[in-house]
Amino acid sequence: MKNPMKFLLGLSLLVVVLVGCGGNKNQVEFWTPLTGEDGANMDALVQAFNETEPEFEVNHVVTSDLYTNLYTVLNSGSGIPDLTLIHADRVPNFVNQGLLESMDEVMSQQPELREENYIEEAWNSGVVDGTVYTIPLDIHSSAMYYNQDLLEKYGVEHWLDDDVVTFDEMLELQGQMDEGQYVLNDALLGWVVLAQIQNLGGDVEDENGDPAVNTPEMREAIEAIKQLADAGLMTPYGEDGYLSFQAGDVIFSTDGTWSSLGHGMVEDLNFGVTNVYAFEPEVFHNRASSHLFSMLKSEDRTDEKVAVIADFLEFIRENSIEWAEAGQIVASVDVIESPEYANYMQSFFTSTEQQMEALHIYTYEHYPYVAEAIDTYVADLVHGEMDIDQGLAEMQSFVVDRVEQGTLDLENVIEELEEAEEE
């Protein structure tokens, strides 16, 4: 056990959750991982729905260790929430373990809950072998914010003419930056690498469905980003590049669509948003994920609750402009096509068909392991703290070991929890 206290804390939180709301026959229990300010936006949506006086009110429960808590109640068979908000990368594994109900009954009761009413990439991330297991709330994507004043200072405003900044363009400023200023930071660096994998035509699984991390595309992506760091154009290793951008010392910050809220609170920060940098303007991607409404397998979920869930999801589809306030790309087509949505900065990413096609959600079953490996190693590789050959080999072994151990499988998670409890 690496951190038994973490698991014990998760169990303690779960007990509080279950005592407060588990198994309530008169409410639809809705669990989410929305521990940030976005939790308040979801609270507002839930409250607005409850004011329509449904047969059962929705009770929004935020849990900081959602997946551990879900595994625990699934194992016990009691206290299973009626509705959950999960991430796209969890869907394949949950489906393969038989943990999710399909959305067939929900969709039959609300016919507007259908594919053409949602962003395609978000909808498809919840479809496995032709069965719809989720209804999407949003896409949350990597983004690249720019400092307009610094673009003008260094005379490179034209880089944004085609909405894609390239590696070669950024390298033009090598040796030209004032001391303490940089072209870009390394925020969400793992997401940047995953975008480059798509730009290069690669993937994180091979033709046999096995994880593929030690690949030519991964190497090329890391080497290209490392070249920017080696040229002195990236914020130094260990420095908070996100804050450096907000301080006005970085031209480009590669963080997330939700970060527009934080950047907007900085006085005198003259900023905008564009796509994550790429090798060429014709081929670009923004690595993304999605929050998806799902129903775990449960014998206690009644037909009446399913009907309320269907009504709630239709309410969200029609009214999720509130979710745009959280800085997310709303999945509902009706919302993103509304004039009001254009006022939100993240509307850039759905402004054209090309932009929507650039949003890429990885739905590979073992993707969570791949993402963990990249996040563990990528900063060391880009900043030259580790040899790339060694790093790629270790990343591949990391993922293969995780797959063999099945650390996301219900049985293994519960075994870890029980071991932690005994300790």
Give me the domains of the chain, ranges plus CATH numbers. Answer: 4-137+290-344 (3.40.190.10), 141-287+366-405 (3.40.190.10)
Give me the mean pLDDT over the 332-360 stretch. Answer: 97
pLDDT of 11 reads 43
Q: How confident is the model at residue 188 (pLDDT cuts 50, 70, 90)?
A: very high
**Which residues lie across from 274 on neighbouring strands?**
144
Q: How confident is the model at residue 23 (pLDDT cuts 50, 70, 90)?
A: low
The residue among 59, 66, 65, 62 whose CA lies nearest residue 82 is 59
Tokens of 338: 């509304």
Give me the mean pLDDT over the 21-38 stretch. Answer: 85
The position carrying tokens 């949950």 is 94
Q: How confident is the model at residue 419 (pLDDT cuts 50, 70, 90)?
A: low
Q: Is the pLDDT of residue 380 over 60?
A: yes
Higher confidence at residue 3 or residue 121?
121
Do 288 and 359 form a contact (C-beta atoms < 8 A)?
yes
pLDDT of 408 reads 84
pLDDT of 330 reads 98
Give me the mean pLDDT over the 240-255 stretch. Answer: 98
Lowest-confidence region among 14-28, 78-92, 96-110 = 14-28
Q: Is the pLDDT of residue 325 over 50?
A: yes
Lowest-confidence region among 49-63, 66-80, 242-256 = 66-80
Q: How confident is the model at residue 271 (pLDDT cuts 50, 70, 90)?
A: very high
Give me the mean pLDDT over the 84-103 stretch. Answer: 96
Do 329 and 336 form a contact (C-beta atoms < 8 A)?
yes
**Which residues lie across from 253 on neighbouring strands?**
145
Residues in CB range of 367: below 8 A, 6 or more apart: 89, 92, 204
Distance CA 31, CA 298 (A): 14
pLDDT of 24 reads 73
Q: What is the percentage of the chain residues whose pLDDT exceeds 90? A: 88
Distance CA 80, CA 82 (A): 7
pLDDT of 420 reads 66
pLDDT tens-digit readout, 395-407: 999 999 999 998 7
